[in-house]
């Protein structure tokens, strides 16, 4: 073997953990400092301890808070939805169109949505005096109030 190429061996090197635990082992340096060991590692202790690296945990927790806030906001929107028995006349449409709809059996929001689900837009467009503009205005008003219109009616509107 060549002389002088191997590092110095310390058979009694002291390892010190951040938790205060120490032990001896063989190493090429006399002292070793560690952030975590088997005495404090969550896998061995069963406790959850988050080791934060460059704020990643904080960013993750912030994303969770934003997600929860959006979920609560969506639930509040659903709770604040206008009741289904709201008269069509109270939506933001011309009184003339509200009268035409009422005369043809579309008295409430529930009636309007029922008509959309069963016959689609065509069933409403068959009513004399109701055109695409009135239909789109009604849909806009309902969406603004938090109603979810049937998918077929949504696709036809776009």
Rounded to two decimals, what is the model's pTM?
0.44
d(CA 45, CA 62): 27
Q: What is the pLDDT of residue 155?
A: 47
Query: Going by C-beta distance under 8 Å and a sequence separation of 6 or more, which residues neighbour residue 117?
Result: 150, 152, 153
Q: What is the pLDDT of residue 29?
A: 96
Q: Are 88 and 98 in contact (CB under 8 A)?
A: yes
Q: Are 100 and 133 in contact (CB under 8 A)?
A: no
Stretch 40-58: mean pLDDT: 75
Q: Is the Cα dihedral 14, 17, 23, 26 positive or negative? A: negative
d(CA 11, CA 27): 6
Over residues 36-45, the pLDDT tens digits come to 898 888 787 8
Over residues 4-34, the pLDDT tens digits come to 888 999 999 999 999 999 999 999 999 999 9
State the DSSP string of 87-124: BGGGSSS-HHHHHHHHHTT--BHHHHHHHHHHHHHHHH
Over residues 73-110, the pLDDT tens digits come to 988 877 666 677 777 777 778 888 888 888 888 878 88
Average pLDDT, the chain: 82
The ranges assigned to domains in the chain are: 8-53, 88-157
Domain 8-53 class, CATH top level: few secondary structures
CATH of the domain spanning 88-157: 1.10.150
β-pairing verdict for 10-17 and 22-27: antiparallel
- In the β-sheet with 22-27, what is the strand arrangement from edge to edge? 22-27, 10-17, 31-34
Stretch 106-116: mean pLDDT: 82
Both tokens of residue 35?
């952030």
């Amino acid at each position: 073997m060549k002389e002088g190429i191997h590092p110095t061996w310390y058979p009694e090197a002291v390892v010190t953990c951040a938790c205060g635990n120490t032990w001896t082992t063989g190493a090429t340096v006399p002292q070793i400092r560690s952030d975590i060991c088997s005495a404090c590692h969550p896998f061995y202790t069963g406790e959850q301890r988050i080791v934060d690296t460059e704020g990643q945990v904080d960013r993750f927790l912030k994303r969770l808070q934003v997600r929860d806030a959006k979920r609560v906001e969506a639930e509040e929107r659903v709770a604040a939805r206008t009741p289904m028995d709201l008269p069509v006349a109270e939506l933001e449409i011309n009184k003339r169109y509200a009268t035409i709809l009422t005369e043809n059996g579309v008295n409430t929001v529930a009636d309007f949505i029922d008509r959309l689900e069963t016959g689609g837009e065509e069933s409403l467009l068959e009513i004399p005096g109701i055109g695409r503009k009135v239909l789109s205005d009604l849909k806009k008003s309902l969406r603004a109030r938090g109603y979810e219109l049937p998918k077929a009616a949504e696709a036809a509107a776009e």
